[in-house]
Homo-oligomer: A and B are copies of this chain.
């Protein structure tokens, strides 16, 4: 934060372009600073006015006698360069450029942006924007911008900071949080990011002690790896980073060469990165508020086992539906817990999970029993988190119930979330004091708990030293220099990575085959570009186990094809090692322009495109991460041996994926794509039956 101290805590702000028109950006800056009681110096700048709002108005920034930490350049794009030059002369360390009319508006604007950046670089000056709303430091009453972020309602003070690539939508996230009672620290709308970008601001907020939770709205990044790095550091620090990715739909087909690469898109890579870095993804505005409240309670569940209690059976059912869909499990209470509940829950209720303490239970008169019931459930070792459905509890009951929770829940390490429908504003501060997030639906309660459980898992994973050591092993991966690979070359490279491959041999006659070098069963197929349906000309024989069968099969398919397809040009016969009894996966690596090497695994075969059952991770990674990828596949159950089939060797698949990731990382300068299709998972081992490596196109080729 040190490097941005003058930006976030400026002692003096110049507002260039103030005007009688209060709608002008410069005017908005000055009015917001005055309205919010900014304690530093304010310097209005406009050569037309001697004074502005009772203050001296300066003809230029360089005419200001005192030091200026931030200049907000509230003039149209055309006038910006002149002001920038003047700011450089004055040695202003930070400028905020609200105006549009730069890179986003075509060639002239792009040239203007480049010119502006060159002047700033020369002067050691940093730029926020252009084409941005600027920034706010809520605690220091700093409003260095214009538009929604400077307007009422002013945000409350708190420890949440926000970086957004969209001023308008980003501020909607802040307002949704504010309406849920959440306070803020810094808000930055970054605009075109000519100079300071989202990553640099996230970095600064990681260092900022006053920021405990970071929100971000991101549309695109030039370097996805930097977000992985920032996210991992945030995770290690325990500062939750919540990201909304805008623009998740892929625009048309991608120009990738291989099958695997076409199955995924940049949003898949973002989501993989989020998982690898423990970044919490937001998909709705209320999630921002729910998740921040859940984090602010500062309790993470030890596992995914959840309990729910309340007087509304329907609310418990709806919670259970959402809990299952969110990957939570239901706790099984101990006999001791049930005995304790039995004493305080009415006879017509239920003492198993969900606990039904019947309608009208949460009242002042019944506070002791409610307290005993909550305590009994929280004391159960099988409970990692608890949802209490207040639902439509009467207003006085809400307050009494909140007071009970304030007593008993404050010190438990287990997260407790309350679903409440009744408008009972008086009880909300009491729930806050109890560190209990209150949400208006059981579905949202389940999602918030599941989010906390996933975050906790990500923290554990990140603190696992082994995972990082796996990554270092990437430096041991074989390096290649070539840029073009035949299928044979590709399979040879796989073998060098440590991935088992099947062999194929093209022969013209049975005499050419060296049977002892092949592992049966073998397949024999006629090789002819003129024969589309090989089986129909008797051109395929499978399951060959002996030398004699092989000779007979090669002769057979050759003679059958010559008879039934007399005009076909025949190249020979392909003898292939057959893979028997396995399951067809596909795997690959894509060297993405933004994310670098990304490894993909998925269900193979004819359904591959249809179901797009894939998982991906940014390379390099170890076998633990590879197993997580496999666990994400919907076809996972097949690998475990669904429908009486044998279980398949998931370890071997994970080993192959990790090896592939190390290789893709080590060769990221030269290799564009790797396609292993199919990769057979077998009862023992995993074997690649076909592969294609595509080198990077050399510039100018």
Contact = CB atoms under 8 A, between A and B. Distances in A.
Interface of A: 23, 100-101, 104-105, 133, 147-148, 151-153, 164-172, 175-176, 179, 217, 219, 244, 246-249, 283-286, 310-315, 317-318, 320-321, 324-325, 348, 358-360, 363, 389, 391-395, 421-423, 440-444, 521, 535-536, 538, 542-543, 545, 583, 603, 605-607, 609-611, 613, 634-635, 637-638, 642-643
Nearest to A612: B634
Contacts of A164: 314
A179 B133 CA distance: 32
Nearest to A318: B246
A521 B643 CA distance: 30
A166 to B, nearest CB: 2
A179 B423 contact: yes
Contact of A168 (B23, B104, B312): B312
Contact of A321 (B247, B359, B610): B247
A454 to B, nearest CB: 20
B536 A219 contact: no
A246 B314 contact: yes
Nearest to A358: B100
Contact of A166 (B168, B315, B325, B443): B315
Given A603-B607, A607-B611, A176 B421 contact: yes
A325 B267 CA distance: 14
Given A168-B313, A535-B542, A395 B152 contact: yes
A464 to B, nearest CB: 30
Contact of A246 (B321, B543, B634): B321
Contacts of A152: 395
Nearest 4 CB-CB pairs, A to B? Answer: A166-B314, A168-B312, A169-B314, A148-B392
29 contacts: A23-B363, A133-B359, A147-B360, A147-B392, A148-B359, A148-B393, A148-B394, A151-B395, A166-B317, A167-B314, A168-B311, A168-B359, A171-B421, A172-B315, A172-B391, A172-B441, A176-B421, A176-B440, A219-B314, A247-B317, A247-B320, A247-B321, A285-B440, A535-B542, A538-B543, A605-B607, A607-B611, A609-B642, A610-B635
Nearest to A320: B249
Contacts of A175: 392, 421-423
Contacts of A100: 348, 358
